[in-house]
Amino acid sequence: MSAPRSADQIHASLSAQIVAGQLRPGDPLAEAALADRFNMSRTPVREALQRMAAEGLVERGPRRAFIVRRMTPTDLGHMFEALGEIEALCARLAAQRMTPIARAQLTEILAVECRTHDDYAALNRRFHEALRLGAGNQVLSDLLADLNRRTLPWRNAQFHTSNGRMDSSRQEHHAILQAIIAQDGDKAAALMRDHMAGSLAVVLAMIAPRETTGNPPPSRGVTP
């Protein structure tokens, strides 16, 4: 059996709280307080925080204390651009490389009916995941997963936006699917770029007015 390592539990718990918005950018992460809260010593807490720092989820604040990572508007723009471009790159590779079977599975994913936001979030996740797998590059897939995790605290803001976004997002997914079935890599990439830009513009518009290095509106639900 795999031994339960304390540091891993802390890492998972803190990461989840950060991406869920329960811990917000700028919040302090004092070692002693966390050790007390998890009923553990500072050592595994430090390990978890150091790993999260390397992953870009937390940063150093005053007194070299760890704080939940803040983002300048410029940082957010760069991160979302990188996310969109690499996702577009994966779409192009997927169009070139997916097997007929994989294309059929991708079609199946989009054929599922869903009404609630949670349903659609799950569908959306499956769609993008299938595309990442279809690109056939583990490194790019890992990069996307990382960027997704790091932007999740900010993307969750999309929940409150119009339901219309859900419908247009779905149409864009189908357009991308058609391009992939046609094995038109450039078109798939261009469509995916627009798709990501559209969904992320909503986030930026919601975040820009607020102070950006501070706290994004806490909420649940993801609709890229």
Partner DNA sequence: GCCTTTTGAATTGTATACATATCATAATAT
Partner DNA sequence: ATATTATGATATGTATACAATTCAAAAGGC
**Taken in order 156, 201, 224, 134, is the CA torsion positive or negative?**
negative
Toward DNA, which CB reaches closer, 67 or 140? 67
Toward a second copy, which CB reaches closer, 140 or 181? 140
Give me the least distance between CB of 95 and a second copy, in Å please: 14
Give me the least distance between CB of 50 and DNA, in Å please: 8
Give me the least distance between CB of 174 and a second copy, in Å please: 26
178 interacts with DNA by CB under 7 A: no
Kindly identify the residues of this chain, within the stretch 3-62, that bind DNA according to CB under 7 A: 3, 5-7, 29-32, 40-44, 46-47, 62
Which DSSP symbol is given to 38? T
Residues that bind a second copy (CB under 8 A): 46-47, 50-51, 53-55, 74-75, 78-79, 81-82, 85-86, 89, 137-140, 143, 147
Q: How far apart are CA 129 and CA 151, in angstroms?
A: 16
The strand pairing partners of 60, in sequence order, are 66
Toward a second copy, which CB reaches closer, 83 or 121? 83
Hey, what are 56's tokens? 């870009």
Toward a second copy, which CB reaches closer, 103 or 150? 150
DSSP element (H, E) containing 129: helix 117-135
Secondary structure of residue 58 in the 3-state scheme: strand
Q: Which does 32 bind (CB under 5 to 8 A by kind): DNA, a second copy, none?
A: DNA
> Residues 96, 183: contact at Cβ < 8 Å?
yes
CA-nearest of 89, 156, 174, 85 to 117 is 156
